[in-house]
Amino acid sequence: MRVAVVLGTRPEIIKMSPLIRELKDRDIPYDVIHTGQHYDHEVSEIFFKELNLSPPEEHIGVGSGSQAEQTGKALMGLEKAYATLGSDIVLVQGDTNTVLAGALAAVKMDLKVGHVEAGLRSYDLRMPEEHNRRLTDHCSHHLFAPTEKSAEILRGEKVWGDIHVTGNTVIDACMQNMEIAQEKSRVDIPGEYVLVTAHRAENVDDRSVLKQFLDVFENIPGTKVYPIHPRAEKMFKHTGLYSKLKDITGMKLMKPQGYLEFLMLMKNARYILTDSGGIQEEATAPNIKKKVFVLRESTERPEAVDAGFAEVVGTNSDDILNAIDRFEQDGWKPEDCPYGDGRASERIVNIITG
């Protein structure tokens, strides 16, 4: 059996890194294929070096483009890569265009597909990711659900693949890499700070939403650390709001950070404002445990909400600031990590080799 591990974005590299290590440790033949969906070096290639991973065997230069262009280029490139490498089973993770293309190319070549982090749903049809994850779930042979709630969703949709509750590999990654981060991380923010990330198209492509975010940042006292994604920076500049963002008291804009640096930023933050899905999970890791205010109208991580880690606050500045005020006044006591014990990768490899 030869395993193809398909990656395209920063979160996929991080979440699949424990699986790659597990395959390597067991001497299971595998190849890493990088589609290049995140084509900026600072948000992609650097992660392979930081996580001590070998460079991908195949690199497909998907780059920028429309949703259809990215998916189509990835489909064509992955089909060729699977044939060249002699892949038998394809592992994809999450909900990106790379994931959908990786799964579709595989099933059309009669290869088995394993979907890591299956069964997540936001039920927000504005999000391209919602369509990607649903379609991938319904053409996968193995569905690796991070929680029982995700597994219940898959059963309710009557997917035809085998459902396995494994935990989430992101917890494996956080637990494996924190010690390395504490030794190697170059980021050092003195004193307390709030960590901010925002990059989703439905947020940063909307000038009215960006103005709401500016209002929030202006009304949060102290230091705000914002490792700004290239897309977000581009849209702040395009909408004429970038100078206002830079001039906010206490605002510290940074380039996108490496994974180890970002782990330390999360670990040492007072709380986190984000529209990211993965950060909602990472913040629940036993060695991080941070409150997350989700700058979206819905989340496909309800387990993080139920456990008290995440709170969906939308994009209206008053709603966001009111939620932060409640947190500051009432305190916070989260439950245990809802995404597993850090052994998801071990379980997944057991399943595909069993």
Return the H-helix or E-strand segment holding 145: strand 142-145
Structure token digits, residue 164: 């396995």
Instruction: Using the predicted structure, report yes or no on whether residue 164 has a pLDDT greater than 60.
Output: yes
Over residues 120-144, mean pLDDT: 94
Return the H-helix or E-strand segment holding 312: strand 310-312
What is the tally of structural domains in the chain?
A: 2
Together in a domain, 103 and 237: no
Instruction: Using the predicted structure, report yes or no on whether residue 339 has a pLDDT greater than 90.
Output: yes
Please report, for residues 120, 298, 330, 347, the alpha-carbon distance to residue 354 in angstroms, rounded to integers and kept in the order given. Answer: 25, 37, 49, 10
Name the band, by pLDDT with cuts 50, 70 and 90, for residue 51: confident
**Do 199 and 227 form a contact (C-beta atoms < 8 A)?**
no
Determine the Cα–Cα distance for residues 317 and 323; give it in Å rounded to an integer: 10
Structure token digits, residue 59: 């690199």
pLDDT tens digits, 306-331? 999 999 999 999 999 999 999 999 98
Q: Given the structure tokens 């103005």, which residue do they identify? A: 211
Together in a domain, 290 and 142: no
Together in a domain, 163 and 192: no
Together in a domain, 107 and 134: yes
Flag whether 263 is in a domain.
no
Determine the Cα–Cα distance for residues 245 and 240; give it in Å rounded to an integer: 10
Q: Given the structure tokens 């044939």, which residue do they identify? A: 83
pLDDT tens digits, 231-282? 999 999 999 999 999 999 999 999 988 889 999 999 999 999 999 988 999 9
* Helix, strand, or coil (residue 116): strand
Annotated catalytic residue, options 34, 38, 115, 199 = 199
Determine the Cα–Cα distance for residues 8 and 256; give it in Å rounded to an integer: 17
Together in a domain, 39 and 160: yes
Q: Based on the residue annotation, tell me whether 199 is a catalytic residue of this protein.
A: yes
Domain holding 298: CATH number? Answer: 3.40.50.2000
- Among residues 7, 31, 202, the alpha carbon closest in space to that of 101 is found at 7
What is residue 334's predicted lDDT score, i.e. its pLDDT? Answer: 85
> Among residues of the chain, what percentage have pLDDT more than 90?
80
Together in a domain, 20 and 164: yes
